[in-house]
Amino acid sequence: MNRILIAEDEPSIREMVRLCLTKNGYSCRTAENGAQAAELAEREHFDLALLDIMLPDYDGFELIEYMRQYAIPVIFVTARTAVADRVRGLRAGAEDYIVKPFDLAELCARVETVLRRFHKTEQVLTAGDIRVDTLSHTVTRGGVPVALPAKEYDLLLYFIRNAGIALYRENIYENVWQEPYFGNTRTVDLHVQRLKKRLGLSEAIETVYKVGYRFVI
């Protein structure tokens, strides 16, 4: 299980991110300031750190320098929107830079991308009796192989990694199809219906009124 350090001084955001990542199978430790984050990084192993830049004591730029000795990849999660801050953050060594407010599904996708870049993602994902091997790109349900077209496979992974979260159609489209969403929900809906049929997920994938879908297996 990947371990993630969350350094955020705003309690509501800190808890929201922790809950989201925990639901997606990560083990999380939280810090409300830079000193706590530095102490945790020194004592424990982490696969990734999410750092706010504007912490009460050390700022995120100081903290990323300190964490370099532990080889912890860093994503900045901050309200600072200026291009100069983004450039400074990336040049300081951050793997990504996420601006508040952010979508939780997008945050999870970015976390997964960075972990995959560092070869720290789990090879096998499970949800109930569904098993997905991300290296061989194979799917089984109840031990029985199920052949999925590429986009339905990507859609299943996205649902599993965001289980329990109400996902907007536009976010599903942009994360699975990796292109801008221009208001056509038909593509998403068709692929969801096909995925439901192939894996028998009519009850596990809920339609959320005026939003999109939620995976609840």
87 and 39 together in one domain = yes
The total of structural domains in the chain comes to 2
Q: Which residue has the tokens 């706010």?
A: 52
Tell me the residue ranges of DSSP E strands in the chain. 3-7, 27-31, 48-51, 74-78, 96-99, 124-127, 130-133, 138-141, 144-146, 167-168, 205-208, 212-215
75 and 138 together in one domain = no
169 and 67 together in one domain = no
103 and 148 together in one domain = no
97 and 189 together in one domain = no
Residue 130's CATH number: 1.10.10.10
Q: How confident is the model at residue 61 (pLDDT cuts 50, 70, 90)?
A: very high
- Domain residue limits at 144: 124-215
The residue out of 91, 117, 143 marking a domain boundary is: 117
Q: What span, in angstroms and rounded, lies between the C-alpha atoms of 70 and 133?
A: 30
Q: What span, in angstroms and rounded, lies between the C-alpha atoms of 153 and 187?
A: 15
- The 10s digit of each residue's pLDDT in 122-173 is 678 889 999 998 878 899 999 999 999 999 998 998 899 888 888 889 888 8
- What rounded mean pLDDT belongs to the chain? 90
Q: What span, in angstroms and rounded, lies between the C-alpha atoms of 82 and 163?
A: 33
Note if the pTM is more than 0.75.
Answer: no
Peptide bond into 101 cis (omega under 30): yes
Residue 15's CATH number: 3.40.50.2300
